[in-house]
């Protein structure tokens, strides 16, 4: 079985697949546990990155600059 490409998995996460591609990809995911796991993994990375927090700049930087 031919697995999904990294590009397809990424575009799936970004919701950039065409309707036709989406149907093919979802069909494949329902039949291939390897790609299904890969897809979950990419979605988790995406969620993790969405939830991340910014780092705090050191206190008092305004005073140093102004």
Partner 1 sequence: MKHLSDIEIIDSVLQGNANDYSLLISRYKHKAFSLLKRMLKNELDAEEVLQDCFVKAFFALKSFKREAKFSTWFYRIVYNSGVTKLSGKRRKIEQEMLSIDNEDNPLTLSVPEKEFTQEKNELLNLAIQELPENYSVVITLFYLESMSCEEISKIINTSVNNVKVLLHRSRTALKEIISQKHLEKELL
**Which residues of this chain interact with partner 1, rule CB under 8 A?**
6-7, 10-11, 13-14, 41-42, 44-46, 48-50, 52-58, 61-62, 64-66
Angstrom distance (rounded) from CA 35 to CA 50: 22
To partner 1, the closest distance from the beta carbon of 20 in angstroms equals 20
CA distances from 47 to 25, 30, 40, 44, 54 (A): 20, 22, 10, 5, 15
Q: Which residue, 1 or 48, has its beta carbon nearer to partner 1?
A: 48
Which one, 6 or 24, has the nearer CB to partner 1? 6
């Amino acid at each position: 079985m031919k697995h999904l490409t990294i590009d397809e998995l990424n575009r799936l996460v970004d919701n950039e697949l065409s309707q036709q591609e989406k149907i093919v990809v979802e069909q494949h995911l329902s039949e291939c546990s390897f790609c299904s796991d890969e897809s979950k993994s990419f979605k988790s990375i995406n969620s993790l990155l969405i939830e991340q927090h910014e780092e705090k700049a050191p206190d008092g930087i305004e005073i140093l600059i102004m």
